[in-house]
Structure 1
Amino acid sequence: MSAPVNGSSTNGEFSRFLKPGIYAPIPTFFLPGSEDLDLSSFEAHVTRVATAGAGPLIAGSMGEAIHLSHAERVTLIHAARKALDAAGLSHVPLIVGTGAGSTRETIELTKEAAEAGADYAIVIASGYFAGALAGNKEALKAFWTEISHKSPIPVMIYNYPGASGGIDLDSDIISELALECPNLCGVKLTCGNVGKLTRIADVVSGSDFSSKYPRKNQNAPFLVLGGFTDFITPSTYANGHGAITGLGNVAPYSIVKLFEISVASRQDSSLLPEALRLQGIIGRADFTIAKASISGTKYLLEKLYGYGGLPRKPLPPISSDAAQALWDHPHTQDLVRLERELSGKVKVQ
């Protein structure tokens, strides 16, 4: 593995900087009929998103990780790295979802991802035994503690109650993990809890956090990231670090611009009205498009870029009526216009 731009060696491997910003959980595309991996569409989309300034996350919830084999995950990591390097984006890190049913398999997946070229792992707790885990603070802490300790790459906590049987980590658990586990590099909060984000960000943004609780990998600070785009500006003012958002697949230029101008407005208050204007457009679109889930996002990608296709069964496709309503919705159209403007493509199909 060659050294990336601005990278440093850790555990005998090179890592790429994990920086605040916008990250997009990349869908996994499938060929019609066979449901085999559609790697050409996948590589094109990884490049499109990264070119816009959003970092790619592979094999997450949007990527239908639960529908992928170990070998397919490795194939996607290789394909994403190849596409980024070919596009002159060798400095862009790859975050890869490695959560599984057991701690043992999660560690196995994390090691496989690292060997395939992943820079960072993001791990969700399985919801299969949520009844036993949800109220057990010790078991939940032990899960991420062991994985981060045994992982060759930094690990991010993924808190998504909707995909983990209702398991919802509170700010105390996440803050304690941040203090106790030097190989943890952040948290994604798809619970949408702004108060939780504020409390965790206050802990890790303190002036003495980095000196008292240094990370194992100097390129991997502890980032506090939202899972939606409807509170990017407010979270920026609470020392949040951006978002990992499915909407980043549809409108990466718009969301990256929103984050950048929100950060800049902290130094130049004259920029705040524009940040709030963008936040309104993007927040409304996120609310509307998120309800259509993975199939809706894939439909919009098909409409905008000519690829998307269907999710893997048993996940159903979006109905034709719902798809048309999603495209025609004024929140969607406002976002499409904004994205066309910011990406330099002004025509709306």
Structure 2
Amino acid sequence: MSIPMHNTSRGTPASPPAAGIYVPVPTFFAAEGTAAYDPVSPPLDLETQSKHSLFLVKGGIKGLVILGTTGEAVHITNKERNELIKSQRKTLDDAGYKDRPIIAGTATQNVEETLQQIQESKEAGAEAVLVLSPGYFATAVSQTGIQRWFEAVADKAVLPIMIYHYPGVTNNLHIAPSTFEKLAAHPNIVGTKLSHGIIDDQTLIAASPNIDHDHFSVFTGLGQNLLPVLAIGGVAAIDGLAGVFPRVVVRLFTLFNDSLAKGIGKKEVQEMRELQFRICQGEKLVARWGVVGLKEALARVWSFGGAKGARLPIAGGFEDGDGEWKKWEKVYEGLKKLEDSL
């Protein structure tokens, strides 16, 4: 795989995931109207999950992030986690995509449970983990406490870890750029996903001369920030909209890097701006509705799963169904045409 196993002795540094667009995939559950549907806790729909995974890698996606926020990690049992990761590793391998890594998410609050999930994720076929910062006691946690928590995980983790900084789901817990500089020096901490729009903080991490950027990669978690984050030294995105329109988001990433290599001209700048504009239009749905919006879009645009295939308390899709979708339909029809043209 592209992400090697690490040395737990704080000796040999692990390598970050290869640059490219990754998708935080939604977890598909049995949809309303199917025989297996349960309105409280529908079972996993691994058939649809696999179809979606192959749709993504055929569209140029570099790898999958399974059981992040979009994957409803907090609604999934450990047994289901392992089943889901293992099934998608097999799906990719059997289809000839052994080079596409799976990054597994963790969202626990204590070190030991996080380490257990990392161990099981490795056994199921993951090559790295995206570890959500522990935000339950956000108002009482110091930057030193955050640093020591991640270092304690990284010291014993059997996979390379990435720091998942998403204040929106961690009680607005803030990790300072200076803390990132310290954590980036750990040989088993190989990058971060920054799911916030604080562009100055992103710059202070992605462009910091105090970070070895060959060892520690900065990914934006917001496709609407992809172009500016690439410009300040970030490597790519782990982006929800790419789960619906992979070729569109990959096109922006590829155009930037190809143009950077040969020299960026006015024509390339204009196309990049236009692509970023279209991505921002689509991302408004993701920002407003999160995984609910993504599942609606996947069901309506590509017939993946059912919009109501989720677990409580977020099950149900848009409350007014077609009424809400009509607000986004024109933008998504345009993005689908663009996706098909690529």
For residue 268 of structure 1, the aligned residue among 263, 269, 279 is: 263
Aligned twin of 1:59: 67
Give SS of 2:335's match.
helix
1:114 aligned counterpart, secondary structure: helix
- Structure 1, 310-319 or 255-264: larger mean CA deviation: 310-319
**Which residue in the other structure is 1:347 paired with?**
none
- Secondary structure at the residue paired with 1:291? helix
Which residue is equivalent to 1:332? 332
Are the counterparts in 1 of residues 114 and 153 from structure 2 also a CA contact under 8 Å? Answer: yes
Structure 1: which amino acid aligns with 2:116? Answer: E
Q: How does 1:1-349 map to 2 (within 5 A)?
A: 4=1, 10=6, 18-32=17-31, 33-34=37-38, 35-54=42-61, 55-133=63-141, 136-179=142-185, 181-203=186-208, 209=212, 221-266=215-260, 267-270=262-265, 271-309=268-306, 310-319=309-318, 321=320, 323-329=322-328, 330-342=330-342
Q: Note closer, same or farther for the CA distance 1:171–1:327 as it changes in structure 2 (3 Å cut).
A: farther
Deviations 1:262-300 (A, max 9, x none): 222323322221111111111121123331221111111
Between the aligned partners of 2:198 and 2:257, the Cα distance in structure 1 is 20
Q: Secondary structure at the match of 1:157?
A: strand
Paired amino acid for 2:271: E
Distance in 1 separating the partners of 2:224 and 2:189: 26
* TM-fit CA distance, 1:129: 2.2
8 Å CA contact 1:124–1:159 kept in 2: the answer is: yes
The CA distance in 1 between the partners of 2:3 and 2:289, in whole Å, is 38
- Cα 1:11–1:127 shift into 2, 3 Å: closer
In 1, Cα distance between the equivalents of 2:341 and 2:64?
Answer: 22
Closer, same or farther: CA 204–57 of 1 in aligned 2, 3 Å: farther
Higher relative contact order (CA 8 A, sep 6+): 2
List gaps (5 residues or longer) in structure 1.
215-220, 343-349
Quote the Cα distance in structure 1 between the aligned partners of 2:210 and 2:96.
32
Q: Is the 8 A contact 2:296 2:318 kept in 1?
A: no
The percent identity for this pair of structures is 31
- Which runs of 5 or more structure 2 residues have no equivalent in the other structure? 9-13, 32-36
Conserved? CA contact 1:16–1:91, under 8 Å: no
Q: Matched residues in 2 for 1:142 and 1:205: separation?
A: 19
The answer as to whether partners of 1:229 and 1:286 remain within 8 angstroms in 2 is yes
Distance 1:244 1:313, change over 3 A: same
Report the Cα offset of residue 334 of structure 1.
Answer: 2.5
Alpha-carbon contact 1:30-1:38 (below 8 Å) kept:
yes
Deviations 1:296-344 (A, max 9, x none): 11111111222232221111422353554335523323222211221xx
Which amino acid is 2:269 matched to? L
Between 86-95 and 318-327, report the one with greater CA deviation. Answer: 318-327
Paired with 1:204 and 1:222, the residues of 2 have a C-alpha distance of: 12
Q: Do the aligned partners of 1:265 and 1:275 also contact (CA within 8 Å) in 2?
A: no
Q: CA RMSD in A?
A: 2.2
Please give the alpha-carbon distance, in whole angstroms, between the structure 1 residues aligned to 2:4 and 2:194: 28
- Residue 125 (structure 1) shift: 2.1
Count of matched residue pairs: 322
Secondary structure of the 2:218 match is: strand
Residues 134-177 of structure 1 show CA distances to partners (whole Å, capped at 9, x for unaligned) of: xx111101111111111111000000011111112121111211
Q: Which amino acid aligns with 1:175?
A: E
Per-residue CA deviations over 1:112-146 (Å, capped at 9, x if unaligned) read: 1112111000001233222322xx11110111111
Q: Structure 1 residues 125 and 7, CA, compared in 2 at 3 Å: closer, same or farther?
A: closer
Report the Cα offset of residue 200 of structure 1.
0.9
Residue 205 (structure 1) shift = 8.7
